[in-house]
A = this chain, B = another copy of it.
């Protein structure tokens, strides 16, 4: 087993194909499944303080790691279905954000930054 994102994406595609689940994996449905997993992630943190969220027990941390894994899995299935190069798209988006949020203007102020968000 390799450790690259491409290996992971191929393993997820093979998993879906072995179960004949590609038929259910329209981009619309995958977007819902991803958002459902994002909801499960929230549930781990909703009653914790910010400090507690950074100091999880090993059991909780493992459960959260598996939620992150579920999100990445649907993200990779979506990228495959839409023929999007996820790594390249993310570098592209970061480049856009580097222009949109110049370090000297937004330093230390995440709240102001979000006023400029699309």
Binding site for B on A (CB under 8 A): 1, 3-5, 8, 11-12, 15, 18-21, 23-24, 26-29, 31-51, 53-54, 56, 61, 64-66, 68-73, 75, 78-79, 81-82, 84, 86-94, 96-98, 101, 103, 106-108, 110-111, 113-114, 117
Contacts and interface: CB of A to CB of B under 8 A. Distances in A.
Contacts of A97: 15
A101 B21 CA distance: 11
Contact of A27 (B43, B45, B72): B45
Contacts of A43: 33, 36, 39, 114, 117
Q: How many copies of this chain are found per oligomer?
A: 4
B71 A111 contact: no
